[in-house]
Amino acid sequence: MTGNTGNARNVIFSETFEKESLRNWTNNLDWKHKGKNVTKPGKEICCDHSVQLDDSVAREGRYAARFTLRKDDPLASNSKRAELRLGAVPTKSEYWYGFSIYLPPGYVKDPSFDIVTQWNARPDFKLGEKWRSPQLALMTANGEWHVHRRWDHREVTKNNKPAGRETINLGTYQTGGWTDWVFRVKWSYEADGLVEVWKNGKLVVRKTGPNTYNDEVGPFQKFGVYKTHWKNHPEKSKANVRVLYFDSIRMGDASASYTDVAP
């Protein structure tokens, strides 16, 4: 992976948006397997307003990334989204992920969920698989944070119906301030998997067991706003625009620690 590598030895990607550009993020997908990078950091956006640097709020330094998704935006990657994407990792691997999210005062409650961070994976198309919902996602809905998990030990997940799924309510979200997140994941579709989540320095989720799909190419993380209801069921949403900010994005390998990636 490329990026602004942090000082921590085990941080393999770091982005604080202080270079005053988004040049670390291309629009290219690269699904070459067996190579070191099966994807490259990229964008999944429709428009110039989808993601921009902003100096009005920042978690560290001067700039943050502002994501804007409008209900009438054209589709990006076949859905309503404004996201930046990191590269994929092996299915059997361990990584640490840190980032901070700012929800502005205008981020109104909406019964329709927003995925603000997700880990998805390329289906095994040669086996007949199609794209599925993410195996791990941080969402907002009805004024609350939620972590949604999905997993499947089978080689093929049919009709987007995995062997298991779970949604965890993490309580009311606060607007007008930054919320810091750290995820530690031992990716596995078997019993040796692990998901740990810290919110503002407090461990709020710890789940052992399977946590991903049985895929040849492993999960990749995306940041921003993904609102599938605006494509398929717009009547479920009361909102017409979503704006939020990201900063202090870091990713560490299995040798990293909470301190290495925490905002």
User: Is the pLDDT reported for residue 175 higher than 60?
Assistant: yes
Mean pLDDT of 97-119: 97
Nearest alpha-carbon partner for 97 in 193, 186, 228: 186
Q: What is the mean pLDDT of the chain?
A: 91
Strands (E), the chain: 11-15, 42-44, 51-54, 64-70, 81-85, 93-103, 114-121, 136-141, 144-151, 164-172, 177-187, 194-199, 202-208, 219-226, 241-252
pLDDT at site 130: 94
Q: Which amino acid is at 216?
A: E
User: Is the pLDDT reported for residue 195 higher than 70?
Assistant: yes
- DSSP-derived letter for residue 79 is B
Q: How far apart are CA 98 and CA 94, in angstroms?
A: 14
Q: How far apart are CA 47 and CA 54, in angstroms?
A: 16
For 9, list phi and psi in degrees, rounded to 5. Answer: -60, -35
pLDDT digits (tens, 9 = 90+) for 227-244: 999 999 999 999 999 999
pLDDT at site 40: 65
pTM of the predicted model as reported, rounded to 2 decimal places: 0.92
pLDDT digits (tens, 9 = 90+) for 16-34: 999 877 877 875 444 443 4
The count of other CB atoms within 10 Å of the CB of residue 27 is 10
pLDDT at site 128: 93
For 232, list phi and psi in degrees, rounded to 5. Answer: -100, -30
pLDDT at site 97: 97
pLDDT digits (tens, 9 = 90+) for 1-15: 334 444 467 898 899
